[in-house]
Amino acid sequence: MRTQVGIVGAGPAGLLLAHLLHRAGIESVILEAKSRPYVEERIRAGLLEQGTVDILTGTGVGDRLHREGLPHEGIELRFDGQGHRIPLTGLTGKRVTIYGQQEVVKDLIAARLSHGGPLLFEVEAVEVHELDSDYPRITYRHEGRDQVLHCDVIAGCDGFHGVCREAIPEGVLRAYERVYPFAWLGILAAAPPASHELIYARHERGFALATMRSNTLARHYIQCRPDEDIGEWPDDRIWAELHARMADRDGRSPINEGPVLQKGVTAMRSFVVEPMRFGRLFLAGDAAHIVPPTGAKGMNLAVADVIVLARALEAFYRGKGMALLDAYSRTALRRIWKAQRFSWWMTGLLHRFDGGDPFEHKVQLAELDYVCSSDAGSRTLAENYVGLPLEPG
């Protein structure tokens, strides 16, 4: 087989890149290791920045998003037993939307299949070759047959544990990483959300977050140890901890209880590799960077990456040379590091660090008070939360 762009991974990054390339008249083939049901049904968080909603809408895959998504025009920061609303739309003119990552994936898969674009699931033994030449190729096994896909360019959209980044020779990439000394214990419950907007709570016992998947499904998180044994957290203990961390000064909690449908522990880490390119291989999304979930930037950064990459590939195939492709890593990384800074700041602002230092707790409360009482502080948070503009190439 031969194509112009070989894409490894059918997550949001790979699928959206293929969609953008198709609209520009550029051929691509997507290779995915998992089955279609697995990819479509794996429940992941989904808070979409305004820019992500705009690109999905503008490229024809936003109809269901607008029917089923939950737009939010603010968030609440809760600390010292009081809630403080940050009016995102009032400060920026933009908003965010709750719409699960798996729903974005379903919409993009449907769009891909509707125009017959090659999308191969359950692909095995994927390897990338000759990356530093003008003729890279991907070898793989599909339906029991060994195959070779010849490409002009390979897009590594295969996630943190994928094969593409690992195929880059040692010494080319520089990795930056921070592993946080805590994790999130999360539940999905059949209960009304605590609020129509997200609540981020800072408490002496640790961080808590109240969010939702729909008007009847609540998603909640509490800060816990990275090595937490989920077996030590029966439902009653989780609900009690959520109530304690979300309660106001009168002891009232906004949390609504219901049957717990899912339960798990999410590690907290930051990770970036530079550059996001080796020869004709370009990394995008989780293959190049991970952010802690506090700032809700993971999928939005993947979308921003592939917008920059699609624009560069379109220029390349229109005979405008390699300039934008050569600038891809530098352009994408400017936004990535700003998102890392915001996620690091939000994480440090809201979590209890080891030792429970009373001085640190008081400083965090003072900073939260400043953010909520200062127009400049609120605006800075709001601008980052709804999404910064794309970096120019």
241 and 380 share a domain? Answer: yes
Annotated catalytic residue, options 200, 221, 292, 351: 200
Q: Please say if 106 is a catalytic residue.
A: no
Q: Are 281 and 167 in contact (CB under 8 A)?
A: yes
pLDDT at 43: 74
Could you tell me if 148 and 202 lie in one domain? no
The answer as to whether 82 is a domain residue is no
Question: Residue 228 falls within a domain, yes or no?
Answer: yes
Please tell me the predicted confidence (pLDDT) of residue 393.
62
* 84 in any annotated domain: no
Tally of domains in the chain: 2
385 belongs to the catalytic site: yes
Report yes or no on 90 lying in a domain: no
How many CB atoms sit inside 10 A of residue 1's CB?
13
Within this chain, do residues 261 and 242 fall inside the same structural domain, yes or no?
yes
Residue 317, burial from CB neighbour count under 10 angstroms (0-12, 13-18, 19+): middle
Whether 72 is a known active-site residue: answer: yes
* Alpha-carbon span 392 to 361, nearest angstrom: 39
Q: In terms of domains, do 146 and 45 share one?
A: yes
Q: Are residues 264 and 118 in the same domain?
A: no
Q: What's the pLDDT score for residue 346?
A: 96
Same domain as 280, residue 146: yes
Q: Which residue's structure tokens are 């140890």? A: 225
Q: Is residue 392 part of a domain?
A: no
Residues 186 and 259 in one domain: yes
Q: Enter the tokens of residue 160.
A: 């943190």
- Say whether 293 is catalytic: yes
60 and 125 share one domain: yes
User: Domain check: are 330 and 236 in the same one?
Assistant: no
State the pLDDT at residue 354.
77
The domain containing residue 335 runs over which residues?
5-72+97-176+269-347
In a domain, 88, yes or no: no
Instruction: Tell me how far apart the alpha carbons of residues 286 and 392 are, in angstroms, rounded to a whole number.
Output: 22
Indicate if 99 belongs to the active site: no
Does residue 208 contact residue 246 with C-beta atoms inside 8 Å? Answer: yes
pLDDT at 293: 93
Q: CA 378 to CA 370: how far, in whole Å?
A: 8
Residue 358: its pLDDT value, please? 85
* 79 in any annotated domain: no
Report residues of the chain scoring pLDDT below 50: none
pTM recorded for the entire structure: 0.95
Within a domain: 86: no
CATH number at residue 277: 3.50.50.60
Q: Looking at the structure, do residues 148 and 59 belong to the same domain, yes or no?
A: yes
Q: Are residues 262 and 289 in the same domain?
A: no
Q: Which of 72, 94, 203, 289 is catalytic?
A: 72
Q: The tokens of 363 are what?
A: 């400083």
Q: What pLDDT is recorded for position 42?
A: 82
Q: What is the CATH number of the domain that holds 212?
A: 3.30.9.10
247 and 193, same structural domain?
yes
Give residue 191's pLDDT: 97
- pLDDT tens column, 58-79: 999 999 999 999 999 999 999 9
Question: Helices then strands (H, E): number in the chain?
Answer: 12, 20
Q: What is the pLDDT of residue 49?
A: 97
E-assigned strands of 53-152? Answer: 70-72, 75-79, 82-86, 96-98, 119-120, 124-129, 137-142, 145-150
Strands 47-48 and 119-120: what pairing? unpaired
3-state secondary structure of 36: helix
Spot the catalytic one: 99, 297, 328, 351.
297
One-letter amino acid of 348? G
Catalytic residue among 99, 140, 328, 385: 385
